Structure 1
Amino acid sequence: MTAWRLLLTRPADDCAALAEVLAGQGIFSNCLPLLEIAPLPVSATMRQAITELPCCDAVIVVSKPAARIAVDLLDRYAVTASTLPWFSVGAATAQILLERGLDASYPDEGDDSEALLQLPRLRAAVTANSRVLILRGEGGRELLAERLRELGASVDYLELYRRELPAYPPHELPRRIAAERLNGLVVSSGQGFVHLRQLAGDAWPTLAQLPLFVPSPRVAEQARAAGARTVVDCRGASAAALLTALREHPVAVL
């Protein structure tokens, strides 16, 4: 695995944490965060949704930023929601909820919407006429809401943040890749790939030749449609999922 020299693109704190894990395995990486989390101003609608959250039958949190902002809002408005079933798409997001004393569950296999929808506890919690609140950033997939509505649930979204592309000098992405002799790219979401493609600009046809590690079949399809030549689906956005994919692809073949 030491042949890999990876570009990491997660938000800054997550990027640093992943780089530390990789370094512990002898894998070189360089961080160029392509997602900057900007919390949305607390509106009257947002405050009402948080204060009424205990009336829900289930709460689904789709990301770590959503979890962090949500627990801060619960504390700010002294909302007790420890008796509710909470759900997340991954262990890291669930850990933030668990540390707040919330009853959080997540799928053991896979960390995406498809895996969450198969979770028996979620299926038990969501029945006809159930009220479900999904906490997320602006935009995103509609799959969770669509499937839960098919079960007869009433589903609402509460958007807590937006994902922005940090400001970089022109040509920073290809310059960084060349300077650090990087031979693999890692993105953790569809939005992260959109920003990668955007920042690449005219250099994309060249960068598209590099192996690209993505978290799900959906992002893999998105990347291939944009011209990425070698796409590796890690089946998850966690460090463990990436390490497994790197073990299965030990040599960077360009």
Structure 2
Amino acid sequence: MSAWRLLLTRPAPESAALAATLAAQGVFSSSLPLLQIEALAETAEQRELILALPRYSAVIVVSKPAARLGLELLHRYWPQVPAAPRWFSVGAATAQILADAGVAVNYPRDGDDSEALLALPALAQALAGPSPRVLIMRGEGGREFIADCLRGQGATVDYLPLYRRGQPDYPSTALLAQLDGQQLNAVLVSSGEGFARLRQLAADDWPQVARRVMFVPSARVAEQARAAGVEMVVDCRGASAAALLAALRVTPQPAP
């Protein structure tokens, strides 16, 4: 049995799936979702973008909710996935959702983050033609880094927003009460937005929260956490369960 006792902060369905994976590896976890996913009602803009899909050089899907909702929209208007454009995802878990639906998808094998995606030779090839266009499937806001980099390379970038992120309502004492009550020694944060929500919820209890080991998905979120005073930050180089498990294996376990 692992000495790790993790607080999971992802949306409830993702936390439940991750908790089952961790339990199979002997890792205890407890969930306090800091974000919740709400699908957006279909709009004329969404329809226009999905019907114009073949004009894009690449489609980038940034998250699992974006993959699920994007596929629902796609299948309403395209009985078969168009041969163009080429599809990309930020991580392996998102790619699996697309692949299970018959979409040929490219994704980085060496990291589930924006930097690894942007370094893919397949993405460079997709954008090599004249006037490249990229469609990014995502929630409202987020992942500006990808678009900024692609625009800097001369690509036109459009967003297809599919969901919004809400915040569950907890009493101000809920976070520390759960950490202390279940003797949790680490916190998993899945995004910069999730970290900001964690910091907000902690409020005056933040110094106690910041003493826990914090597992984060990318260098950018790691920088946020260190700047906020987290004592030990572990960059998992991805948001997948496999990335977390790999990080848990190489990080010294806290004393029981």
Moved more, 182-191 or 50-59: 50-59
Which residue number corresponds to residue 120 of structure 2? 119
- Give the one of 223, 233, 236 matched to 1:234: 236
Distance in structure 2 (CA, Å) of the matches to 1:173 and 1:245: 23
Count of matched residue positions in the alignment of Structure 1 and Structure 2: 254
Q: Secondary structure at the match of 2:157?
A: strand
| Corresponding residue of 1:151 | 153
Deviation at 1:129, TM superposition (A): 0.4
Q: In 2, are the aligned partners of 1:89 and 1:112 still within 8 Å (CA)? A: yes
Instruction: State how far apart, in whole Å, the 1-side matches of 2:7 and 2:155 are.
Output: 41
Matches within 5 A, 1:83-162: 83-84=83-84, 85-127=86-128, 128-162=130-164
SS of alignment partner, residue 160 of structure 1: strand
Do the aligned partners of 2:225 and 2:233 also contact (CA within 8 Å) in 1? yes
2:216 — aligned with what? 214
Amino acid at match of 1:55: R
Give every structure 1 segment of 4 or more consecutive aligned residues whose post-TM-superposition deviation is greater than 4 Å: none
Structure 2: which amino acid aligns with 1:249?
T
Distance across 1 between alignment mates of 2:23 and 2:82: 37
1:8-38 deviation per Cα after TM superposition (whole angstroms, max 9, x unaligned): 1111111111111111111111011111011
| 1:172 maps to which of 171, 174, 180 | 174
Supply the distance in 1 between the matched residues of 2:42 and 2:196 (Cα, whole angstroms).
27
1:181 match: secondary structure = coil
Structure 1 position 75 matched with structure 2 position 90: no
- SS for the counterpart of 2:246 is helix
2:30 aligned partner: 30
Deviation digits for residues 175-200 of structure 1 (CA, Å, limit 9, x no counterpart): 11111111111111111111111111
Is the 8 Å Cα contact of residues 219 and 235 (structure 2) preserved in structure 1?
A: yes
Aligned mates of 2:118, 2:14 — CA distance in 1: 26
Gaps of 5+ in 1: none
In structure 2, what is the equivalent of residue 11 of structure 1?
11
Cα distance in 1, alignment partners of residues 46 and 69 from structure 2: 12
Query: Given the alignment of the two structures, is residue 250 of structure 1 paired with residue 248 of structure 2, yes or no?
Result: no
Distance 1:55 1:78 in 2: 14
1:158 and 1:252 mapped to 2: Cα distance?
43
CA RMSD of superposed structures (Å):
1.6
Instruction: Give a deviation string over 1:101-141, Cα, whole Å, max 9, x none.
Output: 11211011101111011111111001240111111111113
2:20 alignment partner in structure 1: 20
Counterpart code for 2:169: A
Q: Which runs of 5+ in 2 are unaligned?
A: none
**Partners of 2:191 and 2:217 within 8 A in 1:** yes
Task: Give, as a single letter, the amino acid of the residue that structure 2 aligns with 1:90.
Answer: G
Contact 1:56–1:131 at 8 Å: present in 2 too?
yes
What is the TM-score of this pair, normalised by structure 1? 0.95
- Identical-pair percentage: 59
